[in-house]
Structure 1
Amino acid sequence: MQLAPLYPVLYQLLKPAFPGCLWSGHCSSPAIALTFDDGPHPEYTPQLLEVLNTYNIPASFFWLGACVDQAPAVAQSVYEQGYWIGLHGYNHRAFPKLTPAALKQSLEQTQNAIAQACHLDLAYVQQHVTDVRPPNGFFTPQTLNLLKNWGYRPVMWSVVPEDWERPGISIVTQRVLKQVQQGSLIVLHDGYFGGVDVAATVAELIPLLLQLGYHFVTVDQLWQMQSQHYNK
């Protein structure tokens, strides 16, 4: 069963209930973020990078540690091209089902995989790769407290077109266009589920969003904009 129509409703309910998460940018800014979960993938991610590079669009990737280990050269390419990197856990397991020790290990394993693949110092990765998106968006208040205590930043979403169900490129595009607004944080997938269409979807989406007056930023830039807004 496709749940795409419910995600905007969930967003409106959850965003005010969990203000410590990054759900979107500010509604007064045309800055939006394209984010990609479940990669890197040896085939789909390079195809996606070609499209992003064609339009010179910044984007953010939330990686599974196991996929980094399976495609280290792709991970290194994404990092070296300057894209923002976040964590999605080592395997695609719901965070609330993990013990605190297992969750911590999952995140640290992913950081270690990134350090090895991208030839980075582990301490550097532990300091700078701290954005975390829970698989399937599943979390509890306890999950968020653990992430905060460990120094991670939880990142959610405001536009979820359910591309992993592969409803078709045109349907995913129309769902995004229907939901997008200033500050939107869009979730697509470049992994084994949804990734086969991701390059074509983004190639269709980007020019349409640019025509509507939006410009693209990273997740980190959304955090910075949020901080600036609250500090005014």
Structure 2
Amino acid sequence: MQFAPLYPLLYRLLKPAFPGCLWTGSRDRPRIALTFDDGPHPTYTPQLLKILDFYQISASFFLLGTCVEKYPDLAKEVHQRGHWIGLHGYYHHSFPLLSPPELRDSLQKNQRAIASACQIDLHNLRDVRPPNGLFVPQTLQHIHQWNYRPVMWSVVPEDWVRPGISTVVGRVLSQVKNGSLIVLHDGKCGGQDVAQTAEMLIPQLLERGYQFTTIDEFQRDRSEEKNVPDLSV
């Protein structure tokens, strides 16, 4: 069963209920963020990177710690090509099912794996996207308490169930607007199509006048709007 029609409704309900999460960028500028979850994958991620390179697009990757440890050189390549990197947990375990110590351990192991592979300062690895998009208020409380920044989404085309590349592209194009935060997948579920999806989607978004940015830029804009010092630099 596919739930794609429900995600726009969930977004409209959850965004005002949980303002501590990053859901979108500014609506004032035609900028959007392409984000990819569940990698790195030894086949799908390199295919995707070639497409992003061709269009000179910077994206954001939420990496799994266990995949980073299996493919550290690939994680390093993602970083070296100028893409922003965030945390997706060590394993793809839903955060509400973890105890607070288990959740913190998952994030710290995820953080250390990426920092080691990419030679990034731990303090620059603070953006967290919960696997499956699942959280409860206590989850967010802990994430903020531990000085991480929860990142969600505004456009979810449900690519992981592989409804067809044209379907995924059509879902994105029907929902995208200024500040959209789009989530796709380059892992074992959905990654089979991610390069072709990006190859079809990106030029159409460019034709509409959208500029591509990364999660750190959205976070910086958010901090400036709130007059809160940005701690990521």
For the aligned residue pairs, the C-alpha RMSD in angstroms reads: 1.1
| Aligned counterpart, 2:162 | 166
> Distance between the aligned counterparts of 1:109 and 1:36, measured in 2?
20
* Cα distance in structure 1, aligned partners of 2:132 and 2:63: 13
Amino-acid identity (%): 61
- Match for residue 3 of structure 1? 3
Q: Aligned equivalents of 2:72 and 2:164: distance in 1?
A: 29
TM-score, normalized by length of structure 1?
0.96
Where do 5+ consecutive residues of structure 2 fail to align?
A: 229-233
Query: Unaligned 5+ residue runs, structure 1?
Result: none
- The aligned counterpart of 2:77 is 77
Please state whether the residue corresponding to 1:85 is helix, strand or coil.
strand
Give the equivalent residue in structure 2 for 1:16.
Answer: 16
Note if 1:182 corresponds to 2:178: yes
Partner of 2:149: 153
Following superposition, which runs of at least 4 residues in structure 1 exceed 6 angstroms of deviation?
none
Pairs within 5 Å for 1:19-30: 19-30=19-30
Q: After alignment, is 164-173 or 218-227 more displaced? A: 218-227
> In the aligned structure 1, how far is the partner of 2:225 from the partner of 2:202?
27
Give the Cα–Cα distance (whole angstroms) in 2 for the partners of residues 215 and 37 of structure 1. 21
The aligned residue for residue 139 of structure 1 is 135
Superimposed CA distance per residue, residues 153-197 of structure 1 (whole angstroms, 9 cap, x where no aligned partner): 000000000000001100000000001111000000000000010
TM-score, normalised by the number of residues in structure 2: 0.96
Which residue number in structure 2 is paired with residue 113 of structure 1? 113
Partner of 2:95: 95
Secondary structure in 1 matching 2:221 = helix
Are 2:192 and 1:196 aligned? Answer: yes
Count residues in correspondence.
Answer: 228
CA offset at residue 116 of structure 1? Answer: 2.4
Distance 1:82 1:176 in 2: 24
Distance 1:224 1:8 in 2: 25
Following superposition, the deviation at residue 230 of structure 1 comes to: 2.9
